[in-house]
A and B are shown apart, each in its own frame.
Chain A
Amino acid sequence: MRIDFLRSAVAAGLALHLAAGMGLPLAAGQGFAGAAAPAIGVVVTSGAFRLNHATVRSNATLFEGAMVEAGAAPARLALTSGAQLELETTSAGRVFGRHLALDHGAVRIDRAAGSASGFAAGFRVEARGLTIQPDASGSTGRIWLIGERRVEVSALTGSFRALNSQGMLIAKIVAGRSLALEPQLIPGRYRITGRLLRREGHFLLTDETTNVTVEVAGSVLSKPDFIRLLGQRAEFNGFARRGATPVSDAAQVVEVAQVTPAPPQGSAPAGPDGAGGTAPAGAGGSAGGASGGAGGGASGAAVSVTMIAIIGGVAAAAVVGGLAASGNLGGSTAPPVSR
C-alpha cells in the first residue's frame, strides 16, 4: 500500500518535471507559462529594435512598462493578454499588459483580445492624453501620431472608441473610417452637428463626425424657435455639464450656449469659424499638420476631410476617402482639417 503510494508520488513528480522540462503550457495564458515569470509578451522583428534603450535583434521578452522602439523594420508585439500589435517603423511606445502608451509614430492593432467581456476589458492605446479602445476583440485599426498634437485613428475592422483625458467618450470610429483628433486648450468644449431628436422629454443629438450621442440641455432649449429645429440639422456650441447624468445612449449632457441651423449635408458653406462642410484634401482651414502632404493622398485615392467637431475639448475631423476601407492604411498621408 505504502509502496503504491510512493510509486504514485514519484510518477506524479516525474510527470511534472518532464512537463516543465519540455516547456508544456502549464499556465492558462496562451503560449506563456509562468506565475513567477512577469513577462507580458514577446516582441519580434526582422531587423533590430531598441528595448529599454538597448539594441536587440530579432526578438525579446516584454516586461511591464518596457520601452520598445522599432527600427527600420516594424516590431510585432504579441502579448499574453492575446493582443497583437505592430509598432510601425521608427515608432516607439511603452508597453504594459493592458495598454500601450504610444510615444511617437504609429501602431497597428491586429488583434485586441480580452474584449469579449466588453470594450473596457480590452487592450487600449494611450496617446497624447487620449485613450483609444477597440470595441471588440476582432477590431483592427491603426493609431498614428501626427505633428505635435494630432492623433489619427483608422478602424479597419470592428470599431474603436476614443476617450479624452477625463475618460469621457469623444468618438466612435467604425470600420472603414478614420478620424483625426486633437486635444484643444479649452477642456469640455463642444461644437457638434447633427439632427436633433426628442426622446422621453430629453433632447438627443448624434454628432455626425464622431458618432457620439449627447443629451443637450440649457436655457436655449426653452426658446420658442428651438422646437422648430427638431429633426433638422443644426450645429450646437456649448460645454459639458459636470456631474450631470445623461439619459441612456447619451455619453454626456451638454449645456448648449448657441444653436445654429446647419445646411443639409453635401453643401459646403463655411461655419462661423470658417470651418465646416466638406473640403478637399489639403484645402481645409488650419490643417497644417505634420505630414505636410497636402493633397497627397496615398495611391491617388480621393482623400478628403470633412465634418469638424469639437467634443469634450477635443477637435475631431473625419478623414474620408476609403483608405481605411481599402485596408491601405499605411500610406494615408492626407492632412486632416481641424481647428
Chain B
Amino acid sequence: MFQSRLFARISILGFTLALGGTLRLALAEYAWRWGPKPGAEWPMTIGNSSYFKDWAERQPALALGALREALRLNPRDSTAWMALGLAAERNGDMEQAADSFFAAEQCDRQYLPVWTSANFFFRRGNDLQFWHAATRAAAMSYDDPAPLIELADHRQPGAIAALERLGESPHLERGYLRFLIGRSRWQEAAEVAARLSLHGDIPGNDGELLLNFTDRLIEANQGEAALAAWNRLQKFPAPDRAIRGKLVNRNFQRRPSGHGFDWRVTEPPRGWVHWAPSRLAFRLAEMTPDACILLEQPVVLDSGRYRLRFAYRTEGLAEKSGLRWTLLHDGRVEASSGVWDRTATKVSNGLVAEWNFRAAKAGLYELAWIYSRVPGTSHKEGRAELAFASLEAP
C-alpha cells in the first residue's frame, strides 16, 4: 500500500516536472518568436543554440559572442560555424574566419559549407584554396550553378579552362552555356555548346537549350557559329544540315520548326497557314495588310551570285499576286525579286520560277517570302502554296 502510494507520488512529481519543463520551453519559444524584442533575452537562458544564432542576426555588433555561445551549446552546427566565419571576416579576423569555414565543412559535408568557403577564398584572392573548394562545390551542386560559375569565371579567363578546373559535367556545361549567353560571349559559348552537344541530353532538355542558343547566335548575327551549333543538333529535330549557300528543309518535307536555320512561318493577318508534307499553303484575306512576311529562313552566303528556284501555285489572288522574295541583311533589304508570274514555267501541279540575285558580301542573310500588294491592284482573297525552294550558286 505504502509502496504504491510512494510510486504514485513519485510519478506525479516526475510528471509535474516534465510538464513544467515542457511549459518553460514552450514559453521560451513563444517569447523568443513573438515576444517584445527588448527584454527578449531570457529565453536564451534555456540554452537553445538557435536563439544565440538569431541573436547574432538581430545584434550584428554582438554576433561573435552569440555565435561562440551557440557553438558551445552545439559544436556540430555548421550554420553557426558559417555565420561565425562571416562575422569574423566582417571584423577582419581572417584566421578565425578560415578556421570557422573549415569547421563548418567538417560538420556538414554538403554543398553550403563548401560554397561558403569558395566565396571566402575568392574574396581573399587565395587561388589554391578557392579552386579546391569550388571544385568540391561543383561536384555537389544540384541547383543552378550560375553563382559558382560566376566566381570561377572571374578567377579563370576562358570558359573552357574554367570548366576544366571546376570539373566537367553536363550540369556545369549547361550552366556555363546559359551564363555565357546571358553575357553575349558568343565564341566561348560556342565552345561550351560544342562540349555539351557531346555529353548532354540532346534528345531532351539540352537539345532545346542548344536550339535556343542557335537562335540567339542568329539574332546576334553570328552566322558561322550558328551554322556549327545547328549542325551539331543533327540528332535532334533537324535532319537537314545547314550549308553555306543552301536552304534547309527545302521541300517542306518536315513541318517548319521556326528555329535555327529552318523556316519561320508567319500566319498572315486574318488569314491562315497550313502545312502538309511538301506543301505549305497560305490563305490571304481581303483584309490582309498591304505588306507582310509569310516565310523566312536564315542563310549564310558567300559574296556572289545565287539562284533561287521554287515551285508555287496561287489560287484566287490577283494576276499580279504581290508575292515576291526578298533578301535581308542586318534588317535591310539587299535584293528583292519582281513579281515573277510572267517568267514562271508551268509544271503539272503549279509553276516553277527562278530568282537570281547577288549577295554583296559574305555573311548571315535572311531570305523571306513576302506579300506586298502591287500598286493599282486590290486585295483579293486567295491561296498561295509553295512546294519547294532551293538555293544554288550558278
- A: which residues have CB within 8 A of B? 20-27, 30-39, 42, 44, 46, 51-61, 63, 76, 78, 110
Contact = CB atoms under 8 A, between A and B. Distances in A.
B119 A60 contact: yes
A24 B147 CA distance: 25
B123 A25 contact: no
B123 A63 contact: no
A56 B125 contact: no
Contacts of B79: 58
23 contacts: A20-B125, A21-B128, A23-B124, A24-B95, A31-B89, A31-B91, A33-B126, A37-B122, A39-B122, A42-B89, A42-B123, A44-B86, A46-B57, A51-B147, A52-B147, A54-B144, A54-B146, A54-B147, A58-B82, A59-B86, A60-B147, A61-B123, A61-B151
Contacts of B83: 44
A55 B120 contact: no
B204 interface: no
Contact of B150 (A20, A42, A63, A78): A63
B205 to A, nearest CB: 17
Contacts of A52: 146-147, 150
A286 B352 CA distance: 70
Instruction: For the complex of A and B, list the 9 residue pairs with the smallest distance between their C-beta atoms, beginning with the closest.
Output: A23-B124, A33-B125, A54-B146, A34-B125, A54-B144, A23-B94, A61-B119, A33-B124, A23-B98
Given A31-B89, A42-B86, A55 B144 contact: yes
Interface string B101-135: 00000000000100110011111111011000000
Nearest to B83: A44
A282 to B, nearest CB: 26
B362 to A, nearest CB: 36
A26 B116 contact: no
Nearest to A25: B94
B138 interface: no
Contacts of A21: 126, 128-129
Contact of A63 (B89, B128, B129, B154): B154
Given A22-B94, A31-B89, A52-B150, A59 B82 contact: yes
Given A23-B94, A38-B154, A78-B90, A58 B125 contact: no
Most buried by B among A22, A51, A54: A54
B95 A33 contact: no
Given A23-B94, A54-B144, A58-B116, 6 more contacts: A22-B95, A31-B89, A31-B94, A42-B86, A46-B57, A55-B143
A226 B362 CA distance: 76
A27 B205 CA distance: 44
A212 B238 CA distance: 67
A286 to B, nearest CB: 35
B119 A42 contact: yes
- The secondary-structure label for the interface of chain B is helix
B92 interface: yes
Contacts of B327: none
Contact of B112 (A34, A54, A57): A57
B127 to A, nearest CB: 8
A30 to B, nearest CB: 5
A31 B143 contact: no
- Chain B contact patch, size range: 20 to 34
B92 A23 contact: no
A74 B136 CA distance: 28
B122 A61 contact: yes
Interface string B278-303: 00000000000000000000000000
Contacts of A32: 123-124
Interface of B: 57, 60, 79, 82-83, 86, 89-92, 94-95, 97-98, 112, 115-116, 119-126, 128-129, 143-144, 146-147, 150-151, 154
Nearest to A41: B123
B147 A23 contact: no
Given A23-B129, A63-B154, A34 B124 contact: yes
Contacts of B57: 46
Nearest to A66: B150
Contacts of B144: 54-55
B94 A37 contact: no
Given A37-B154, A51-B147, A61-B119, A25 B125 contact: no
Contacts of A39: 122-123, 154
Contacts of B150: 52, 63
A34 B123 contact: yes
Contacts of B126: 20-21, 23, 33
Contacts of A30: 92
Nearest to A17: B128
B92 A26 contact: no
Nearest to A27: B125
A76 B150 CA distance: 20
A110 to B, nearest CB: 8
Nearest to B57: A46
Nearest to A34: B125
Given A52-B150, A55-B143, A59-B82, A23 B121 contact: yes
Contacts of A59: 82, 86, 116, 119
B74 to A, nearest CB: 16
Contact of A26 (B121, B125, B129): B125
B147 to A, nearest CB: 5
Contacts of B60: 76, 110
Given A52-B146, A61-B122, A23 B151 contact: no
Nearest to B124: A23
A129 to B, nearest CB: 27
Contacts of B147: 51-52, 54, 56, 60
B125 A36 contact: yes
A111 to B, nearest CB: 10
Contacts of A78: 90
B105 to A, nearest CB: 13
A72 to B, nearest CB: 14
Contacts of A76: 60
A31 B120 CA distance: 10
A21 B125 CA distance: 9
A58 B144 CA distance: 15
A305 B128 CA distance: 58
Contacts of B112: 57-58
Nearest to A24: B94
Contacts of A42: 86, 89-90, 119, 123
